[in-house]
Chains A and B, each alone.
Chain A
Amino acid sequence: MKRSHFLLLAVLIALPWFAGEFYVNLASQILIAVIFAASLNLLVGYAGLTSLGHATYLGLSAYISAWLSLRMGLGHAITAPAALLLTTLVGCCFGWIALRASGLGFLMLTLALSQIVWGLGYRWVGVTNGDNGLSGLTRPAPFGIDLSDSGAYFWFVLVITTVVLYVIARFVNSPFGATLRGTRDQSRRMSSLGYDVWGIRWVTFVFASFIGAIAGLLYVYFNKYIHPSVMSVTVSAEALLAVIAGGSGTLAGPVVGAALVMLLKNYASAYVERWNMLMGIVFVFIVIAMPAGIVPGMRTLLQRLKGGQE
């Protein structure tokens, strides 16, 4: 970690002392979006597999945890691991199906699978309460610490985000991460070198769905409410926009991208109701004008500036 990272962390730790509740809550939402985008980046950036159905894992884990606590009356000590486990299991199945194809076939399969889960969220009223969503949820109190206050919850999310980003960094920089990038760049060569390309991709898919499930838990604890729209293609697309805008295949990219998307969404929806239209325009703009994303774009710009000075 560089000094700037520690500085950022210090500012974030101090945030609840100087920022108002609105901004603390916004910061929590940004961190949750960061975890979610970082998990999607494992697929999009490091495995080279563009998924358009990642909201499935966020939504499923949120729904499972909500359902278990509301209908089964279970405590958070059980619902949280159960939600993570079940969502990851779904990730195992969906990964197996979606990875029958690669490239655009993969994209279409992930989109179709997530649309089915989303439709289920709306239609299976007996379980999901349909369009009304599930409300009356609570936040957990790990080790007896009360998280109902916005500052306390922000610190909780911050701790988890730090751990998750650290784990992702370790994963990506491990030998496994190197083989993963190998399958992205040269899948045939990796295959003839004896690597199990399919297996490597599948493990990454499952890992990404697990991290996505963590984001889902944090999401449902934050909102204490869950609605089927959280599994819609809009949410998947927002995360994908965050990854691509920030710069896919970099560790910082999804962090920057998710922060930008969330800020834009928040400020835009304060003035206009047209978030979908704005997101569409930003999407087209980024894809056409800045295909590598903001972080790599800035990096080359900085290098060029440094080169100019020498």
Chain B
Amino acid sequence: MQFWQIQTLNSFALGGLLFLLSSGFALIFGLMRIANLTHGALFMLGAYAAVSAMRAGFGLALAAVIAALSVAVVGGLIERLVLRRLSGNAQGQVLATLGLSFIASDFCLIVWGGDTIPIQTPAMFQAPLRFMGLIFPTYRLVVVGIAVVVGMVLYLLMERTRLGAMIRAGVDDMQMARAVGIRASALFTTVFCLGALLAGLGGAVGGPIFSAYPGLDSDMLSLALIVVILGGIGSLVGTFVASFIIGFIYTFGTALLPDLAYVILFLPMVIVIAFRPTGLFGTIRT
């Protein structure tokens, strides 16, 4: 009983982190029509930035904010300095992000070394929560809470604000959006920063669960790709649902069949691709 309950909560926590990671990826893909292959590296950068911030004496909450903001700046620089030069050449942009992801992961290796660095769970969340005879690791609940809040904020941002309306217009028809006076250039930078911010936040918040280690980037990038393929590109709801589906499949797969967890990840993706190439909720066919 305890096993199922803990694993269920772990699944939700992983799903929440995957949502933080993938929503940014999906946002960037939807608007700019590029697959940002640095996204895993940005997540890792968030985790390492949190490590440094905590070493400087900040608590995890503040460290996460610092990490998210600094990763957002990195994202903005990537968009301004590199991707901007390749506008109109989607394939070139994707390959440039691939090159940047190698640079970023090697950079982390130089700065933070090759050993796994654990991140402490904040003291106030260390004691497990007891409720109706069941025990819940508190921090996992906090992670789920953060993901849900971020999801709601993103939803409101997209549906209720002027910026959201501009992004939606850009996703639907970039040329038309430009014609009615939306500044695509500023919009791209904003969205790229926002996506990077979410990835960095995910890395920092996920720190106590994953720790920071070299290779975190490529683990997270594969999960993000699978989530986005499964959920459908350009759909926030799809990304949300798929994040939790993959969170469950991966957690239970790893717990029950550790050798074959990756194959189990593969199955839902294949089934969805076979019957619905646009993904569960997607509307854009790539």
Contacts and interface: CB of A to CB of B under 8 A. Distances in A.
B115 interface: no
Given A115-B222, A116-B266, A288-B96, A100 B34 contact: no
Contact of A107 (B35, B109, B273): B35
What are the 9 closest A-B residue pairs judged by CB atoms, nearest first? Answer: A283-B99, A105-B286, A280-B102, A115-B222, A280-B103, A119-B262, A277-B106, A284-B99, A276-B106
Mostly, the A contact residues are helix
A283 B38 CA distance: 13
Contacts of A244: 95
B34 A287 contact: no
Given A116-B266, A123-B262, A283 B95 contact: yes
Contacts of B262: 116-117, 119-120, 123
Contact of A97 (B222, B263, B273): B273
Contact of B91 (A50, A125, A233, A283): A50
A144 interface: no
A228 B285 CA distance: 33
25 contacts: A101-B273, A101-B277, A102-B286, A104-B33, A104-B35, A105-B229, A112-B222, A113-B266, A120-B260, A123-B258, A123-B260, A126-B259, A274-B110, A276-B102, A276-B109, A277-B103, A277-B106, A277-B107, A280-B99, A280-B100, A283-B98, A283-B102, A284-B99, A288-B82, A291-B92
A281 interface: yes
Contacts of A283: 95-96, 98-99, 102
A52 B37 CA distance: 11
Interface in A269-295: 274, 276-277, 279-284, 287-288, 291
Nearest to B284: A105
Given A100-B273, A108-B229, A126-B259, A115 B221 contact: yes
B105 interface: yes
Contacts of A281: 99, 103
Interface of B: 29, 33-35, 37, 82, 85-86, 89-92, 94-96, 98-107, 109-110, 218, 221-222, 225-226, 228-229, 233, 258-263, 265-266, 269-270, 273-274, 277, 285-286
A125 B259 contact: yes
Interface of A: 50, 52, 97, 100-109, 111-113, 115-117, 119-120, 123-126, 232-234, 237, 240, 244, 274, 276-277, 279-284, 287-288, 291
Given A50-B91, A107-B91, A232-B218, 20 more contacts: A50-B94, A100-B274, A103-B90, A104-B33, A105-B286, A108-B225, A108-B229, A108-B286, A109-B273, A112-B269, A115-B222, A116-B266, A117-B262, A119-B262, A123-B259, A124-B259, A240-B98, A279-B102, A284-B96, A287-B96
A108 B103 CA distance: 20
B102 A287 contact: no
A244 B269 CA distance: 29
A120 B258 CA distance: 10
Which of A111, A237, A274 lies at the interface centre, i.e. has the most chain B CB atoms within 10 A of its CB?
A111
A279 B225 CA distance: 23
A113 B34 CA distance: 19
A176 to B, nearest CB: 24
Contacts of B263: 116, 120
A297 to B, nearest CB: 15
Given A112-B269, A232-B218, A280-B99, A291 B89 contact: yes
Contact of A287 (B86, B101, B225): B86
Contacts of A291: 89, 92
A104 B102 contact: no
B94 A107 contact: yes
Given A232-B218, A287-B95, A116 B103 contact: no
A237 B100 CA distance: 12
Contact of B35 (A108, A277, A287): A108
Contact of B286 (A101, A274, A280): A101
Nearest to A283: B99
A115 B225 contact: yes
B286 A112 contact: no
B102 A116 contact: no
B218 A123 contact: no
B101 A280 contact: yes
Contacts of A126: 259
Contacts of A274: 106, 110
B94 A234 contact: no
A262 B118 CA distance: 36
Nearest to B218: A233
